Structure 1
Amino acid sequence: MKIIHALFLSASCFLASCDNSDQAKSSANRASATEATANIEEVLDANTHKIVVNEKIASGGYVYIKVTEKGKEYWMAVPGRPIEIGATYYYDGGMEMQNFESKTLNRTFESVIFAEGIRNQAQKVKTVAKKSAPQGSPQVKDIEKAPNGIRIAELFNNMNDYSNKEVIIKGQVVKVNNGVMNVNFVHLQDGTIGNGQYDITVTTDDNFSVGEVVTIKGNVILNKDFGAGYTYDVLVEKAVKL
């Protein structure tokens, strides 16, 4: 009987030890999960802005929104979209413009953050590139060169030769951002590739529509830096539609 009692005590101690070990492992797993969640939140906080919208003004294809982020209030400008007052949104990056004058609003902002857009989710939604426009190739077919003009490939292959010079380029409009820093940003392609580049950015006061084939004249500027990481190796400024 003493032997059976001793065996029972040993088994009880063993089971208790296993139970404690399982509890310890479970606690450790919960702690690891909590730590991982905290690390994810830290990454989101470091790379993503979380804002609450207090006020909005739609103008010139953009929506100017007064937001609060971590107790700080400031103005932003994003491409036109439905925005709800009091709602929480997220965005990445952004470019600050100080003493920005909006001609459409007839108002000067002490500071405005221009962002490519805002979203409802903290994390970005991955997008799949269209098969018709694979990454690394032009979206348009070959477009004939304008009289007295150059091809986009020529510009990218000989940027230094065209620096601070006036050029004429014929191409198709593939993207338009109007009213950014009081000018319109237009992307042109003509089907040619130079130095691995095929899309030239143009700033202009004229109006363009995506899909139209146009001829423009403007001044070539190299290493243009708008701040906040928005830089261009080559840019055609003050372009006019011919």
Structure 2
Amino acid sequence: MTRKVLFVLLGLGLLMLLSGCTSGNKKYSSTPEGHVQNFEVSVPEYTISGILINSTNIDNQFISTKGVVEKTVAAGMYTYAKISDGTGEIWVAGPKTNLKPGSKVKLYGALVVLNFKSPALNKTIDVLLMTQSFGSGESSLHGTTEGNSTSAVNVSVKKLAGGYTISDIFTRSKDLAGKEIEFRGVITKVLPEIMNKTWIHLQDGTKDNVTGENEIKVTYSGPEKFKVGDVVIVKGKLETDVNIGSGYFFRVLINNATIKKDET
């Protein structure tokens, strides 16, 4: 299999997470103001030895783990890192990241892949983890916001004065294409360092009455840090029918948006 095909497959694994595919069960409740609270996650957490021992049973499943970086290998848009936790060691592949030996990482929603042929390492990796982000090892796995999302969040956010609802954006997407729009929403997913940008998913309690779509994807490149449950105001140009390759297509997308927390 060629290097190009292998990297496309790796990209597909990362983009599965980007597009909202996950095996975790999430529960949300909301305040009257629309803030999401009581966030719970049930993605199983393993030690590295637990992953290796149970690898055939958890193949192609999403898991969480943590460890210390032992070594890294750069591979174009991706970084391979060997991590250990005292019980074993395992290779992880993710987006290009500047990792140093000794760095602590926590992986949420990493995809288990068996017998991965890696041209970058010139070997077949018995058990590989594909991750959308090499998260910091200093925060709690179940408190992290990276990679957390839901298909149905129980929120109701007040429409921004002079702005749009998510229902408006989908319903009027043809008219709004190429125009700068603004809306208020609740963050349901945060994915940093994907194609050199941070991707966030937002909902506001409304949906497209025809398709049922209720979540907008937005990218930004600024230093701001957001978390699941933040109510934010998004401003940017609406793009429609966006194809980013590898078979991934977005009906609507706001690229390089300006995002700020709603302090009202």
TM-score by length of structure 1 reads 0.50
RCO comparison, higher one (Cα < 8 Å, 6+): 2
Which of structures 1 and 2 has the bigger CA Rg? Answer: 1
* More helix by percentage: 1
